[in-house]
Amino acid sequence: MLLQSLYGLKQASRVWNETIDKHLKSMGFEPADADPCVYTRGEGEDECIVCLYVDDMLIASRQKAVIASVKAGIAEKFRIKDLGRARFILGIEIDYDMERRTLGISQKAYTESSIKKFGQENAKPCLTPLEPGVQLTKADEPQTEEDKAKMKSKPYRSLVGSLMYLACGTRPDILVAVAKLSRFLENPGEKHWDAGIKVVRYLLKTKDVGIVYDGLLGTQLEAYSDADWAGNRDDRRSVSGMLLMMCGARRSRRLSL
């Protein structure tokens, strides 16, 4: 008789999530409506936030005693490993400056590995992700079987995927370029590949760039939105964008066609 889920089975991750969710709720935490992997408990000085990614957790509170009590509550049921103050999680580096009250996040290590992955360590850096006014269209897609076979040897999807991970993480400055490149995953051409490599060469010059949140600026949200008019040359669809700022830096963003 099997009394628990086996590690590696397809349903194991769901069973684990149900288990940790139930335990956190028993400790008084409630999942956020916007993100069920973010749990909150208490208010003011006693407020505590737990961010859950499978079996990795970030615990934040103004009071160290609150954090300690939450760790103890989790340890009552699960075997845990306390890694101390978060410095690196999910490929993102976290940097604190307590005097200036800033928190910075970046992906330098991942950026460097991507630069190496696509053989651009010794390339000439670029000043921008895309040249101003550059147009990437379906007219640049390969038309002959010979050209299509040539492009199959280039890891275009892997290139765009690597760039997308950075754009969705700590590099919103490449988001527009990556969004344009993502339109040609099915049948990329040489021009699309060259444009993707140009983004990598831009990262070569800006690999230390990240996002910095300034605690002195407060937590007032600022929202911005904009759109072009029939900017897609292939079907004349418009591109719209939204940016949500907090503490002087990007909090959330959305770009859609």
pLDDT digits (tens, 9 = 90+) for 87-137: 998 889 999 998 999 999 999 999 999 999 999 999 999 999 998 888 888
- Asked if residue 190 and residue 112 are part of one domain, the reply reads yes
Domain extent for 198: 106-211
pLDDT digits (tens, 9 = 90+) for 124-143: 999 999 988 888 889 889 98
What is the number of structural domains in the chain?
2
For residue 42, pLDDT beyond 90: yes
- Asked if residue 59 and residue 113 are part of one domain, the reply reads no
Does residue 167 form part of some domain? yes
pLDDT of residue 4: 64
Tell me the pLDDT of the chain averaged across its residues. 90
Half-sphere exposure of 29 (CA within 13 A, CB side): 26
pLDDT of residue 255: 65
- pTM exceeds 0.85, yes or no: no
- Asked if residue 111 and residue 73 are part of one domain, the reply reads no
pLDDT band at residue 187 using 50, 70 and 90 as cut-offs: very high
pLDDT of residue 193: 96
For residue 165, pLDDT beyond 90: yes
Residue 216: DSSP 8-state: G
For residue 241, pLDDT beyond 90: no
How many helices and strands in the chain, by DSSP H and E? 7, 11
Which residues sit opposite 246 in a β-bridge? 249
- Asked if residue 76 and residue 171 are part of one domain, the reply reads no
Which residues sit opposite 104 in a β-bridge? 95, 212
Do 51 and 58 form a contact (C-beta atoms < 8 A)?
yes
Does residue 94 form part of some domain? no
pLDDT digits (tens, 9 = 90+) for 173-182: 999 999 999 9
- Asked if residue 111 and residue 78 are part of one domain, the reply reads no
- Asked if residue 192 and residue 126 are part of one domain, the reply reads yes
- Helix spans in the chain (H): 12-26, 64-75, 108-117, 145-152, 156-169, 175-181, 190-206
- The SS3 of residue 126 is coil
- Asked if residue 116 and residue 61 are part of one domain, the reply reads no
- Asked if residue 201 and residue 116 are part of one domain, the reply reads yes
CA 234 to each of CA 132, 174, 182, 257: distance values in angstroms, whole numbers, following the listed order: 19, 22, 14, 12
- Asked if residue 114 and residue 72 are part of one domain, the reply reads no
Q: Write the single-letter amino acid at 112.
A: E
Tell me what the mean pLDDT of segment 209-221 comes to. 90
- Asked if residue 160 and residue 127 are part of one domain, the reply reads yes
Half-sphere exposure of 224 (CA within 13 A, CB side): 8
What backbone torsions phi and psi does residue 231 show, to the nearest 5 degrees? Answer: -75, -20
- Asked if residue 126 and residue 33 are part of one domain, the reply reads no
pLDDT of residue 254: 72
Radius of gyration of the chain (CA): 22
